[in-house]
Structure 1
Amino acid sequence: MRRITASLALLLATAACTNAMSEPPVSTTAPEPMVSPILTGPEALDTLTWAEPQKARVTHVALDLDLDFDAKRVGGSAVLDLLVAKGADRIVLDTNGLEVTRITDTAGRELDWALEELEEAGEKGSPLTVILDGARSIRIDYRAPQDATALQWLSPEQTAGGVHPFLFSQGQAILNRTWIPTQDSPGIRQTWEARITAPKPLDVVMSGVVQGEPEDLGNGRRAFRFVMDKPVPPYLIAIAAGDIDFRAIGPRTGVWAEPSVLPRAYAEVADTEEMVVAAEELYGEYRWGRYDMIVLPPAFPYGGMENPVMTFLTPTFIAGDRSNNGLVAHELAHSWSGNLVTNAVWGDSWLNEGVTTYFENRIVEAVYGKARAEQEAALMYANILETLGEVGDDAPGTALSTDGGYELGSAIAYDKGAFFLRTVERIVGRDRFDAWLQQWFDNHAFQPATSELFYDDMMENLVASDAEAERLMLRKWIFEPGLPGNVAKPDPAAFAAVDGAVAHYADHGMLPEAWSSWTAAEQIRFLDNLPAELTHEQLAALDAALGLSSTGNNEILFLWLEMALENRYEPAVPQAEAFLARVGRAKFVRPLFAVLWNEGEWGRAHATRIYAKTRDSYHSVTRGGVERVMSAE
């Protein structure tokens, strides 16, 4: 049940009257914007944007930008198509550090504008207010700052090839306002297009559909064009540029990577076309055309980012055996949950991440079998219990829907959200649940959503009776902290052999003979459940017998380093230093620095020394996490 206020209804009614751009910076065939509704109930109020979308909102963004690798800056223009309510005379945009030089309408007429300077803007940045004077499209000439937190500029030495520089962006949750002036809120969906120029021989990819071959500009640069004709939340506008090659997987899937990385990357993601087919069989048509991926340099701060038509991936998931490519299933699933239907506010991020994590597990089951899916679900459940054990069952942040911002990587948003849907599926039956979830995606496609809307849809389209509603405990799952008593626990047999080996080791010090035949999930389960306190002799024996420090699986290597550093095992320090120097994934980097920092003078000396060497190689997201850890007393 969508809540539409009178002002929103007016905006939707006047959508067809939006003026087209008279001089678009990219193409004379700009797509007609598909205007997505906005939600205006109190639960959909986004406190992380300056925008007032009920008065005036952006419906389409056209970028014309130059990449300057020497200055490490992006600059050019953005033309914004607007939808303006009757009587409104201004629009408020989000910016953070942008240097705005001129704002006009598309006829070149100067418009009045003000960029408010705030003493402590923080990530929210500063509002840019433009007096429209009748304009329905505006052009903003600007440059992004050199320290734009959404962008990471890598020197050639920070790439696999070592010859050419590299650029990538990471916009989630509210970082894109550091390089694009728009209304940077997940509830204000926008179509977009772009013309990007870059120096030869670099290639550019974006989270839009490429338009033809790059244009040689005759000055040592080429221009690349992209279009996204479906309204997306602004955080999903993404760019990468570097020495990259492409290899097709299937008729609509492929992977980009640096040339020396591409063979390993392709081998790891070669099941992707099969995953897309499995996802469609579960929940309906893949609506974005192509599904390509790019494996970025190690500095990328996350495991993956679900940018439409161009998923960004960390190279740290490459293990040589596809054991970590549940990550690919996760980012693919976002093409439905997150990209197709998006949380309107970041306090409801479980609508993106929890639904996706459930969907990921279903794809894994379809492609790799139920045993692997159950093991991965059991690891998720352990994450939930560990988090609740740390913060308490009644901690407000353990509700799925929160009043706060957005904390990426939370076991609550991802794993509790997945187990909520898993529980509902078990109670109502898989066939009924799958039919309901597909209609959710179909009926809310290209629209924002809130937890209240999700709850209302379940009550209207899924729940069969008051008695079933009581059994499901929907409001308790979504709006209350902790883990409800009806949770559908994972199959205890999933790790029965591993848990027995853990007990045997704890009692007798016996190492598992079956280690080499175990799945990666089983190895992770074993390491994650070993006694917290181990002697240096025990650690040395574990490493020698299991090859932990030499493993090619970064998830397992991380667990080894974490365990060794917690026990001040000196031989692990150079291993950790090498690991922290070659990866930038926040999931690995921040916890290892936290372990060192918590180990008193011994650990803090190592942390300070290592961070001084590695800091410049990390994305701002990773740096921020580490520096919060290292500022703690």
Structure 2
Amino acid sequence: MRHSILMLSLAAALAATSGCQRAATPADEAATAATAPATATRMIDEHSYAQPDKVRTKDLALELKVDFDKKVLDGSATLTLDWLDPKATQLVLDTRDLTIGKIVGERSDGKWEDLKYTLAPADRILGSKLTIETPKRNPRVRITYTTSPDASGLQWLTAAMTEGKKTPFMFSQSQQIHARSWVPLQDTPSVRFTYTAHVMAPQDTMVVMSAAMEPGNDNSGDKRDGDYTFRMTNAIPSYLLAIGVGDLVFKPISERSGVWAEPASVDRAANEFSDTEKMIQTAEKLYGPYRWERYDMLLLPPSFPYGGMENPRMTFLTPTAIVGDKSLVSLIAHELAHSWSGNLVTFSTAKDAWLNEGVTTYVEGRIDEELYGKERADMERVIARNELRQEFTEENKPLQVLAGIPGELKDPDDNLGSTVYAKGAWFMQFLEQRFGRADFDAFLRGYFDHFAFQSISSQQFADYAKANLLDKYPGKVTQAEFDEWLHQPGIPATAPQVTSARFDAVDAARKAFLDAGTLPAADATKQWTTQEWVHFIEGMPETLKPEQLAALDQAFHFTGTPNGEIAQRWYPLAVRSGYTQANGEIAKFLQRVGRRKLIMPTYKELVKTPEGLKLAEDVLAKAKPGYHPITTGSVEATIAEAKAKASAK
């Protein structure tokens, strides 16, 4: 998942929304175990009730009907099971706000029989534990169910909220543990399964999923009969289940890649993402063949809470990545890189999230470097590391550790972004520098091959690295150095540093403005990319005088910018500095965009004053119908915390 090309915290989400700690429930006995085929390592996932050491899902068959009027999915999930424990007679699944209609099990004679089940009270983070009695250890179990209109993993948009204004839109976001809100299943990345889906939807909509469309992998967008079938033959974890429904058309980029989008934006998206095939070929040259057959992209409405989501065969993308100059297409490189680090080799629990995001961010940088040059890749690294330094504090030290400690991560959505993305990628660059790029590339390619289609832990990565790096090339990295990166907070002194000559010029321009009020020369700034503008604003003092902001605004038109990455930095600075002239455009931006990474910094500054808090509440009231539940939870938590602090004074 890509929250940004330019890092910020992931903190927000359900735990904060509820204002509660995880309840003392049977979740504590719901530790999951996952044994990758190549190892006997037991993996514990404290964010799932499932018991995959006893029984595992091998295949999932979905029958779903999309109901835009009720804002629900209605249907069934059939799980094909692999019973591992000969004494096990229960199937334990994860659910959140599902209405269960009936549960049946297939007998050995092929007939189906009713099964008894218990749906436990809901935990605010984990949802409800579904325990199904299976004394005959049924090879298949079918659950008939209906989702809630408020399912945390689904967003329902009215036609008025879409670009075309004619057809409603629905899309899913299953990571981290939101798949359980639209499918009853073992919702842990330690379990991988194949799946099929038969989806009925209104005939004026197109359905896409993270799977091949059948028959014939039709990617034209012309097939609109309301009846769609999909198949994913590679085993995936639950967080990669994905569905999108709306007025969608397709435009190819290459023989194996293209863009799905609303008709009004498909050409713009295809133009911006035209380098996708080059990215695939670059990644294949570095790390081996692309194993998912197609790499298509779905451009979502601006309410999508993240930058991108790496659903196999169908990456979901924010439209905020389209700025006209391809300066933000590292987002595509990031989601594509997940096809190796994440989708192919998957973290086994949220505590090991760096294995997905850190390795992916490193691979993203390598793709960017190949296609757009080392200077651009280095600018991205500098920005990410500057933000890491700001985000790492004494208070959040426990969340600065790559190999997470059990019990520290209360909600899997609360991973510290700079840890799993920037620190993880920095660790990879440290290893590359010490072992040399050629040998490290060979190691990483071997790592992807060795653990292909498996879910692994940080310890398994460490064991593999010891055998294939540290022991193979002795004297280059000590075990103590390696372990410090993996198990200690902060950034080790051994971390390699990156500089950018182009940022040096930006720094000089900023200093001239702050010292003498001299605006950067137009002939220089017209060549600046998004990264340079971001660095220019991020290096400003905590506040500026209103007249300084006005001068910058008059010259560069930051207020009202269509570039979300610039808006994310400019508007918080404007709020802190009392530059109320920007309030109108701030309100429009916060109502138009639902991407958490772009809007949360401004909300967090607004709530620090009574006037700003009122503006934040007013904006949320108008924006909430178009926000994803994940975004709404983040904003509501920020406002609630500010109110609590104000009342305590």
Same fold (TM over 0.5): yes
Report 1:62-211 matches (<5 A): 62-85=61-84, 86-106=86-106, 107-118=110-121, 120-132=122-134, 133-211=136-214
Checking the alignment, whether the CA contact within 8 Å between 2:400 and 2:416 is kept in structure 1 is no
Deviation at 1:112, TM superposition (A): 2.5
Partner amino acid for 1:59?
Answer: K
Checking the alignment, whether the CA contact within 8 Å between 1:506 and 1:531 is kept in structure 2 is no
Distance (whole Å) between structure 1 residues aligned to residue 421 and residue 153 of structure 2 = 23
| 1:191-232 deviation per Cα after TM superposition (whole angstroms, max 9, x unaligned) | 111000101110000000111278xxxxx9621111111111
| Alignment-derived partner of residue 19 in structure 1 | none
- Sort the Cα spacing of 1:409 and 1:395 in 2 relative to 1 into closer, same or farther, 3 A: closer
Partner amino acid for 2:205?
Answer: L
Distance (whole Å) between structure 2 residues aligned to residue 202 and residue 357 of structure 1 = 35
| 1:19-50 deviation per Cα after TM superposition (whole angstroms, max 9, x unaligned) | xxxxxxxxxxxxxxxx96497645x2001111
| Alignment-derived partner of residue 482 in structure 2 | 474
| Equivalent position to 1:538, from 500, 524, 548 | 548
**TM-score of the superposed pair, with normalisation by structure 1:** 0.90
| Equivalent position to 1:212, from 191, 212, 215 | 215
Alignment of 1:442 onto 2:449: yes
Distance (whole Å) between structure 2 residues aligned to residue 472 and residue 54 of structure 1 = 33
| Equivalent position to 1:359, from 347, 354, 363 | 363
| 1:273-294 deviation per Cα after TM superposition (whole angstroms, max 9, x unaligned) | 0000001011111000000001
| Alignment-derived partner of residue 427 in structure 1 | 434
- Sort the Cα spacing of 1:394 and 1:340 in 2 relative to 1 into closer, same or farther, 3 A: same
| 1:466-493 deviation per Cα after TM superposition (whole angstroms, max 9, x unaligned) | 5323288111001110100010111253
| 1:544-598 deviation per Cα after TM superposition (whole angstroms, max 9, x unaligned) | 1112124332211221112111112111111011101111101122221111001
Report 1:294-373 matches (<5 A): 294-373=298-377
Distance (whole Å) between structure 1 residues aligned to residue 177 and residue 468 of structure 2 = 33
| Alignment-derived partner of residue 374 in structure 1 | 378
Checking the alignment, whether the CA contact within 8 Å between 1:167 and 1:241 is kept in structure 2 is yes
Alignment of 1:618 onto 2:627: yes
| Alignment-derived partner of residue 60 in structure 1 | 59
Partner amino acid for 1:76?
Answer: G
Alignment of 1:548 onto 2:558: yes
Distance (whole Å) between structure 1 residues aligned to residue 357 and residue 540 of structure 2 = 29
Distance (whole Å) between structure 1 residues aligned to residue 466 and residue 195 of structure 2 = 35
Secondary structure at 2:290 match in 1: coil
Distance (whole Å) between structure 2 residues aligned to residue 540 and residue 394 of structure 1 = 36
Checking the alignment, whether the CA contact within 8 Å between 2:96 and 2:181 is kept in structure 1 is yes
Q: Extract structure 1 runs of 4+ deviating beyond 6 A.
A: none
| Alignment-derived partner of residue 30 in structure 1 | none
| Equivalent position to 2:491, from 483, 493, 500 | 483
| Alignment-derived partner of residue 47 in structure 1 | 46
Deviation at 1:336, TM superposition (A): 0.4
Distance (whole Å) between structure 2 residues aligned to residue 623 and residue 331 of structure 1 = 24
Checking the alignment, whether the CA contact within 8 Å between 2:305 and 2:594 is kept in structure 1 is yes
Distance (whole Å) between structure 2 residues aligned to residue 375 and residue 601 of structure 1 = 37
| Alignment-derived partner of residue 508 in structure 2 | 500
Partner amino acid for 1:121?
Answer: D
| 1:496-528 deviation per Cα after TM superposition (whole angstroms, max 9, x unaligned) | 111112222222222111222112111110111
Partner amino acid for 2:161?
Answer: Q
Report 1:247-286 matches (<5 A): 247-286=251-290
Moved more, 325-334 or 393-402: 393-402
Structure with more contact order per residue of length (Cα contacts < 8 Å, sep ≥ 6): 2
Partner amino acid for 2:154?
Answer: L
Checking the alignment, whether the CA contact within 8 Å between 1:58 and 1:80 is kept in structure 2 is yes
Report 1:8-23 matches (<5 A): none
Distance (whole Å) between structure 2 residues aligned to residue 375 and residue 466 of structure 1 = 32
Secondary structure at 1:462 match in 2: helix
| Alignment-derived partner of residue 16 in structure 1 | none
In structure 1, runs of 5+ residues without a counterpart are 1-34, 215-219
Distance (whole Å) between structure 2 residues aligned to residue 171 and residue 233 of structure 1 = 10
| Alignment-derived partner of residue 287 in structure 1 | 291
- Sort the Cα spacing of 1:210 and 1:96 in 2 relative to 1 into closer, same or farther, 3 A: same
What is the RMSD of the two structures over their aligned residues, measured on CA atoms? 1.8
- Sort the Cα spacing of 1:396 and 1:199 in 2 relative to 1 into closer, same or farther, 3 A: same
In structure 2, runs of 5+ residues without a counterpart are 1-34, 219-223
Checking the alignment, whether the CA contact within 8 Å between 1:427 and 1:472 is kept in structure 2 is no
Distance (whole Å) between structure 1 residues aligned to residue 37 and residue 195 of structure 2 = 16
Deviation at 1:108, TM superposition (A): 4.6
Checking the alignment, whether the CA contact within 8 Å between 2:250 and 2:260 is kept in structure 1 is yes
- Sort the Cα spacing of 1:465 and 1:255 in 2 relative to 1 into closer, same or farther, 3 A: closer
Checking the alignment, whether the CA contact within 8 Å between 2:89 and 2:137 is kept in structure 1 is yes
Moved more, 467-476 or 623-632: 467-476
Secondary structure at 1:549 match in 2: coil
Count of residue pairs brought into register by the alignment: 589
- Sort the Cα spacing of 1:39 and 1:535 in 2 relative to 1 into closer, same or farther, 3 A: farther
Deviation at 1:111, TM superposition (A): 3.3
| Alignment-derived partner of residue 565 in structure 1 | 575
Checking the alignment, whether the CA contact within 8 Å between 2:83 and 2:137 is kept in structure 1 is no
Q: % of aligned pairs identical?
A: 40
| 1:391-424 deviation per Cα after TM superposition (whole angstroms, max 9, x unaligned) | 1398121111212243357111100110110111
Distance (whole Å) between structure 1 residues aligned to residue 301 and residue 396 of structure 2 = 40
Distance (whole Å) between structure 2 residues aligned to residue 330 and residue 96 of structure 1 = 30
Moved more, 613-622 or 548-557: 548-557
Secondary structure at 1:392 match in 2: coil
| Alignment-derived partner of residue 412 in structure 1 | 419
Deviation at 1:620, TM superposition (A): 0.8
Distance (whole Å) between structure 2 residues aligned to residue 409 and residue 303 of structure 1 = 16
Distance (whole Å) between structure 1 residues aligned to residue 105 and residue 242 of structure 2 = 26
Checking the alignment, whether the CA contact within 8 Å between 1:94 and 1:127 is kept in structure 2 is yes
Partner amino acid for 2:187?
Answer: D
